Amino acid sequence: MQKTLFAAALALSLVGCSQNAITGKNQLTLYNDADLQTMALQQYRQFLSENKVVAVNTSKDAEMVRRVGQRLTSAINQYYTGKGLGSELAGYQWEYNLVDSKEVNAWCMPGGKIVVYTGLLPITQNEAALAVVMGHEIAHALAKHGNERMSRASLAELGGQALSVALANKSPIAQSIFNSAYGVGTNLGVMLPFGRSQELEADKFGLIFSSLAGYNPQEAIGLWERMEKASGGNKPPEFLSTHPAEATRIQKLREMMPEALKYYKPMGK
């Protein structure tokens, strides 16, 4: 029986392996992008209905979030189109919202559903640093890190045969695993973590995307210095719990910076 389950899981993992368009790395992606986008939209709408969304017409901060999001996604569309990868953005309907919450958090769901929490803004402090964070979260979505962590969790939880049935029937099991992977409500503690290699990938492309949008990527250094100071040596905010330590991350960002700066063209020039 164990051999049968292992063989089925191996077959599924081989079928589900694909090369990511921007990272160039092979990854396990068992879930269909369109299905994930549908589940994301459902949870996104539920989240917005249960939380206080800051109106753009009454808040400069909300206006800034939308402005940064629009510049980032415009740059990303151009980046993908220029590389002949425009089809990779199929189904993306970008949305940007600022939510009133003390949590230091931001996220982007499959399909381009983006939320920034007001608790993040005292640490970002400026538009360029916010662009770095939003670019990072968008990079997670585009690199399909969520699909990858859902796929690995599904294999571990269900085994090969059960998973093949769940995927074929689009059962509630998949929705349950999605809710765990993208838990954005009050139960962030159950959210499946990104791996540290995924975090560094998101850092790299977050810098590139913010540079392409006309924001100085060097603001990332000050951002993480402030993040380190804000954590005070204690446990970091929940969405940073699996991120590299701030000192390590700053070192890696410095190493990534020369490449990111190649894409940087200040706005208005």
Name the residues annotated as catalytic. 137
Tokens at 213, concatenated: 């949008």
Do the Cβ atoms of 190 and 183 come closer than 8 Å? Answer: yes
Do the Cβ atoms of 259 and 212 come closer than 8 Å? Answer: no
List beta partners, residue 115: 97, 107
CA neighbours closer than 13 Å in the CB half-sphere of residue 27: 24
Nearest to 171 by CA among 188, 191, 184, 157: 157
**In a 3-state reduction of DSSP, which class is residue 200?**
helix
What are the backbone angles phi and psi of residue 150, rounded to the nearest 5°? -65, -40
Gap between the Cα atoms of 214 and 168, Å rounded: 44
Residue at token pair 């499946």 = 192
CA 220 vs CA 44, 176, 216: distances in Å: 27, 35, 8
Tokens at 148, concatenated: 């990858």
Query: Dihedral angle at the C-alpha atoms of 12, 14, 17, 19, nearest 10 degrees?
Result: -160
Residues 6+ apart with CB under 8 A from 61: 54, 98, 118, 121
